Amino acid sequence: MKVSENIWNLIAPIYDILRRNPISGYFLKREDWAAESLTKKLLSYDINTVCDLGVGRGHTLCLIPEKIPHRIAIDRSMIMLKLTRKASPDNLFINADVLNIPVKYAIVDLIFCIGLVEYISDLESLFTQIDAILKNEGHVLLSYSPRNILTFFRFLRGHKIYPRNWEEIEICLRKYQFELLDSKITPLQHQCLLKKKN
């Protein structure tokens, strides 16, 4: 078990309380707003399968429109998954590392990758997995944490954080044939709506 997994296992039972803290709650509400506004742009597309990478306590699951029949939630913290399954049982939950996803290739129409990139040291390996499970012309809602003072404070709380800049993300977008459709900037995250080209 890796150190970061230990941290998430400890945080899992109190994660909702941390989100209700007035200070962190403010920032997290901004992130939720940005993700929700980008997700609304996808309502006209034919989406049957959604995969949430690093689902955590499932706060992004509420963004998935109810009409989408297949929902896959992946996280490597079993404690996070157990708690999230209790609150949202109508999803397929998979305990796995996002860099080694046990999902049949090219079956997913939409991937949520919110609040995950900053915990992954090897960005290209993550994009390899995303590219493998996403259908052509599928979409990705991805966030990354920029280098700023707020990201530094998260590091001080005990998280090993890998802040990114747009140029690092753009290199992967070009390599894996993704186009940027839209983006939102919040104090903690830059969120990008991406489309996989044919």
Q: What is the domain class of 3-57+68-196 according to CATH? A: alpha beta
Q: What is the pLDDT of residues 22-59, one digit of tens each?
A: 666 666 777 888 888 999 999 888 999 999 999 988 87
Q: Which residues pair with 134 in a beta bridge?
A: 108
Q: What are the structural domain ranges in the chain? A: 3-57+68-196
User: What is the average pLDDT score of the chain?
Assistant: 84
194: helix, coil or strand?
strand
Taking alpha carbons only, the member of 144, 145, 105, 133 closest to residue 196 is 133
What is the DSSP code (8-state) at residue 6? H
Cβ count within 10 A of residue 193: 20
Q: What is the pLDDT of residues 112-163, one digit of tens each?
A: 999 899 889 999 999 999 999 999 999 999 999 887 666 655 555 566 788 8
Taking alpha carbons only, the member of 52, 54, 42, 34 closest to residue 137 is 42
* 2: confidence class by pLDDT, cuts 50, 70, 90: very low
Q: Model-level pTM greater than 0.95?
A: no
Answer yes or no: is pLDDT of 109 > 80.
Answer: yes
